[in-house]
């Protein structure tokens, strides 16, 4: 039964990572921008959950408010800064978004301080499912997995089955052609970026009650998401999903079996994939 708990934890962690990694891989796949600040959006989400839920008294109110704020931040950033990076070398994208990380971390320190905070699990989901007489599993973690799965499904349907998804795919595969057919690429880029920011922030918000809210939480997630994107292949949502789950398992079981080397397990997995598939599992050659 203990194994069941670890498996459920692995899936939950993996799916949560997928929400962050999917935005990262889409933003790269469609705009060709490598965004180091993506982890900051996760951090911002968690702090929004903390601030808004203590203001409004409920995580349920904080979630929609936070998503709107995060999406607005995404639109603003894309318009003011990110859109200027599309045609520039990756080096400058790395640097500008590195600068953004410093700004966001410091703003966080100025506005909320450097303490570790916790966010209460909503009362409705506060229960635990009994597995055996001594072991139980928190309902809230199952809720996280379910929401992430639903979002993954929604993302798939949007991109593969809707008209807007078709525009996104057109803009990704041939921007010039898409523009000459009358698509407003700038608008598509802005929306995709804002959606990526909102997804990462949402992941931070729903993770806040289980992971607590602390400085530097964004960087930790960012680098793991880089590993996911590398393993899955840049621009591939399917790859990101599978790699997220792989990482979820590697990390969770690593912590149980070899605690000192758990953080390294994730990178070893990446090294092995690189040896055999330098472009990732689902990367385009």
Partner 1 sequence: MKRSLLPWLVVATVLLLLFPMAAEKFYLQLVTKIMILAIFALSLDLLVGYTGLVSLGHAAYFGIAAYTYALASQAADPANVWLTLPLALAASAAAALLVGALVLRTSGVYFIMVTLAFAQMAYYFFHDTRIAGGSDGIYINTRPDAHLPGLDLADDLHFYYFVLALLAIVFALLAVVLRSPFGRALQGIKANEHRMRALGYATLHYKLAAFVLAGTIAGLAGYLAAAKEGFVNPEMMAWHQSGAVLMMLILGGMGTLFGAVLGAFSYVLLQEWFSTLTKHWQLLMGGFIVAAVLLLPHGLIGLHRLRIKSRAPRPEGDGD
Q: Which residues are within 8 A (CB) of 161 and not within 5 positions of it... i.e. 6 or more apart?
A: none
The dihedral through the CA atoms of 239, 244, 247, 253 has a sign that is negative
Binding of residue 92 to partner 1 (CB under 8 A)? yes
Least CB distance from residue 51 to partner 1, whole Å? 19
- Please tell me the distance from the alpha carbon of residue 89 to that of residue 104, in angstroms, as a whole number: 23
Least CB distance from residue 66 to partner 1, whole Å? 23
Q: Choose between 92 and 187: whose C-beta lies nearer to partner 1.
A: 92
Q: Which residues are within 8 A (CB) of 177 and not within 5 positions of it... i.e. 6 or more apart?
A: 170
Q: Which residues are within 8 A (CB) of 192 and not within 5 positions of it... i.e. 6 or more apart?
A: 26, 27, 30, 31, 168
Choosing from 81, 147, 149, 170, the residue that interacts with partner 1 (CB under 8 A) is 81
Q: Choose between 63 and 266: whose C-beta lies nearer to partner 1.
A: 266
Choosing from 229, 245, 250, 281, the residue that interacts with partner 1 (CB under 8 A) is 229
Binding of residue 57 to partner 1 (CB under 8 A)? no
> Which residues, listed in sequence order, are joined to residue 136 by a DSSP beta bridge?
130
Least CB distance from residue 28 to partner 1, whole Å? 7
Least CB distance from residue 144 to partner 1, whole Å? 25
Binding of residue 284 to partner 1 (CB under 8 A)? no
- Please tell me the distance from the alpha carbon of residue 122 to that of residue 271, in angstroms, as a whole number: 40
Taking CA 177 as the corner, what is the angle to CA 173 and CA 191, rounded to the nearest 5 degrees?
60
Q: Choose between 28 and 193: whose C-beta lies nearer to partner 1.
A: 28
Binding of residue 192 to partner 1 (CB under 8 A)? no
- Please tell me the distance from the alpha carbon of residue 252 to that of residue 272, in angstroms, as a whole number: 19
Binding of residue 75 to partner 1 (CB under 8 A)? no
- Please tell me the distance from the alpha carbon of residue 22 to that of residue 192, in angstroms, as a whole number: 11
- Please tell me the distance from the alpha carbon of residue 283 to that of residue 208, in angstroms, as a whole number: 32
Q: Choose between 68 and 272: whose C-beta lies nearer to partner 1.
A: 272
Least CB distance from residue 253 to partner 1, whole Å? 16
Binding of residue 101 to partner 1 (CB under 8 A)? yes
Binding of residue 98 to partner 1 (CB under 8 A)? yes
Binding of residue 100 to partner 1 (CB under 8 A)? yes
Binding pattern to partner 1, positions 107-146, x when CB under 8 A? x-xx------------------------------------
> Which residues, listed in sequence order, are joined to residue 61 by a DSSP beta bridge?
none
- Please tell me the distance from the alpha carbon of residue 123 to that of residue 126, in angstroms, as a whole number: 5
Binding of residue 16 to partner 1 (CB under 8 A)? no
**Which H helix or E strand runs over 136?**
strand 136-138
Residues that bind partner 1 (CB under 8 A): 28, 34, 36, 81, 84, 90-92, 94-96, 98-107, 109-110, 219, 223, 226-227, 229-230, 234, 260-264, 267-268, 270-271, 274-275, 278-280
């Amino acid at each position: 039964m203990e194994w069941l708990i670890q498996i459920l934890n692995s899936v939950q962690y993996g799916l949560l990572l997928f929400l962050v990694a999917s935005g990262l891989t889409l933003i790269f796949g469609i705009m060709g921008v490598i965004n180091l600040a993506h982890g900051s959006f996760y951090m911002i989400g968690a702090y929004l959950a903390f601030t808004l839920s203590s203001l409004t008294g409920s995580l349920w109110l904080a979630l929609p408010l936070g998503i709107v704020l995060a999406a607005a931040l995404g639109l603003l950033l894309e318009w003011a800064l990110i859109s200027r990076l599309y045609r520039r070398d990756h080096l400058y994208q790395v640097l500008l978004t590195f600068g953004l990380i410093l700004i966001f971390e410091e703003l966080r320190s100025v506005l909320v301080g450097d303490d570790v905070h916790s966010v209460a699990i909503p009362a409705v989901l506060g229960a635990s499912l009994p597995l055996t007489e001594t072991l139980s599993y928190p309902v809230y973690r199952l809720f996280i997995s379910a929401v992430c799965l639903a979002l993954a499904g929604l993302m798939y349907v949007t991109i593969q089955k809707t008209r807007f998804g078709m525009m996104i795919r057109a803009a990704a595969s041939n921007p010039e052609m898409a523009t000459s057919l009358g698509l407003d690429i700038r608008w598509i880029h802005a929306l995709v970026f804002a959606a990526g920011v909102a997804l990462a922030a949402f992941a931070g918000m729903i993770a806040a009650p289980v992971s607590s809210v602390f400085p530097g939480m964004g960087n930790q997630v960012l680098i793991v998401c880089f590993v996911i994107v590398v393993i899955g292949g840049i621009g591939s949502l399917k790859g990101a999903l599978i790699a997220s789950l792989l990482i979820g398992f590697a990390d969770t079981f690593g912590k149980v079996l070899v605690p000192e080397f758990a953080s390294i397990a994730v990178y070893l997995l990446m090294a092995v994939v690189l040896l055999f598939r330098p472009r990732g599992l689902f990367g385009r050659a």
